A and B are shown apart, each in its own frame.
Chain A
Amino acid sequence: QQPVQSPQAVILREGEDAVINCSSSKALYSVHWYRQKHGEAPVFLMILLKGGEQKGHDKISASFNEKKQQSSLYLTASQLSYSGTYFCGSETGANNLFFGTGTRLTVIP
């Protein structure tokens, strides 16, 4: 039931852009995005509900294609602080949030 994330890892230079994709085999009620710094707990970034909306958080935004059961996270003009592992979480309407295997993002100067 875990959604599939890609890529597994990406290395960026400061100022470059990145896209992280998340897809599910089940119909989605919502998609969540979390970021986890090394040795810390995951922290909520944003939630996208059914309706194909796009949300933004500073220079990080996301889209949700309900028909394709896919979501993408866009990181624009990356900063060193963006480094970490990004997880998408899929909520299928049952009482659960299932997470993908994560995308490790490294931003270098």
Chain B
Amino acid sequence: NAGVTQTPKFQVLKTGQSMTLQCAQDMNHEYMSWYRQDPGMGLRLIHYSVGAGITDQGEVPNGYNVSRSTTEDFPLRLLSAAPSQTSVYFCASSYGPGSGANVLTFGAGSRLTVL
């Protein structure tokens, strides 16, 4: 039982490049989300999904795309990387919000640097 798996752990990009951060969970969680963590800013929600085929924007969605074709996978795409997207990215999943059981399990994180 791996929980939430994120790849890659580290990535360096040049401005303007695109890339995809991968996230997979094996807990049959319906809810998945992406957060970014910056010093002094806490964890900010980028995008989330309440089930396969359903995604929505969080607090800071600009510059990012997501899709959810399966229950297990929730990739985050950076379309044209900018230095402001230098951050640590966390993927998280849970059984679902509003049920009192929206306890998030986080992946180990992906540290992205944009030069």
The complex places the Cα of A40 from the Cα of B106 at a distance, in Å, of 10
Asked if B100 contacts A47 (CB within 8 A), the reply is yes
B109 touches A101 (CB 8 A): no
Shortest distance from the beta carbon of B108 to any chain A beta carbon, whole Å: 5
List of B residues within 8 angstroms of A41 by Cβ: 90, 106-109
A96 to B96: give the CA distance in the assembly, Å.
10
Number of interface residues of B (CB under 8 A): 26
* Chain B residues within an 8 Å CB radius of A42: 43, 90, 104, 106
B42 with A95: CB separation less than 8 A: no
A2 touches B90 (CB 8 A): no
Is the beta-carbon distance between A99 and B42 smaller than 8 angstroms? yes
B45 within 8 A of A: yes
B100 contacts A97, CB within 8 Å?
A: no
CB proximity to A under 8 Å, residues B38-54: 40-45, 48, 50
Q: What 9 A-B pairs are tightest by C-beta distance, nearest first?
A: A41-B106, A101-B42, A99-B43, A95-B97, A99-B42, A102-B42, A44-B103, A49-B100, A42-B106
* B43, B104, B106, B108 pick with most chain A CB within 10 angstroms: B43
Q: Judge whether B40 and A96 touch: CB under 8 Å.
A: no
A95 touches which of B40, B43, B56 (Cβ 8 Å):
B56
Beyond A42-B90, A97-B33, 14 additional pairs, beta carbon < 8 A? A2-B44, A30-B102, A32-B103, A34-B104, A40-B108, A87-B43, A93-B98, A95-B48, A95-B98, A96-B45, A97-B102, A99-B42, A101-B42, A102-B42
